[in-house]
Amino acid sequence: MKTNAARLLDSLGISYELREYEVDLEDLSAGTVARKIGLPAEQVFKTLVARGDRTGVLLAVVPGDAELDLKALARLSGDRRVEVVPLREVQPLTGYVRGGVTALACRKDYPVFADETLELFDQVSVSAGMRGLQILLAPVDYLRAARAIVGPISKEKA
């Protein structure tokens, strides 16, 4: 199955693997997705939608076993304050549903900020733009396709 995210990677000549998994609507956590696709949670990255007081809407890509550090994201994005957008705004802003949000081929071209730990792996997994489908690819290719800025934006879960 080809999603807009996969089509974007195709257009850029980026190699990737699509990996399907069974969706549990009661548990859309990155940790659960990681178990289902056979990768550690720190190698499966989730995309969160946030809004900065200066930048406006932006996307934050953090490891599945971590939380977004809003203060660190604000520093990296040049905002004084950043907050995660309410769930009801996610699909209208991105074109993707919760559990399927990706920085690849979003409805609009938002700034993307990826946690620096993404660069520690040979291969990472991100949503392919729909629930039940992940894209596995090299971090350097993901960063190029998403035009992401890299920095320390995650913290350990409390």
The predicted-structure confidence for 61-113, as pLDDT tens digits, reads as follows 999 999 999 999 999 999 999 999 999 999 999 999 999 999 999 999 999 99
The pLDDT assigned to 1 comes to 74
**Would you state the structure tokens that stand for residue 106, as one six-digit string?**
């979003």
Domain of residue 65, CATH code: 3.90.960.10
The pLDDT assigned to 157 comes to 84
Q: How far apart are CA 138 and CA 119, in angstroms?
A: 9
Q: How far apart are CA 9 and CA 2, in angstroms?
A: 10
Q: Is the model's pLDDT at 156 over the cut of 80?
A: yes
Range of the domain at 118: 4-156
Q: Is the model's pLDDT at 158 over the cut of 90?
A: no
Single pTM value for the model: 0.95
118: three-class secondary structure by DSSP: helix
The predicted model gives 39-43 an average pLDDT of 96
- Structural domain count of the chain: 1
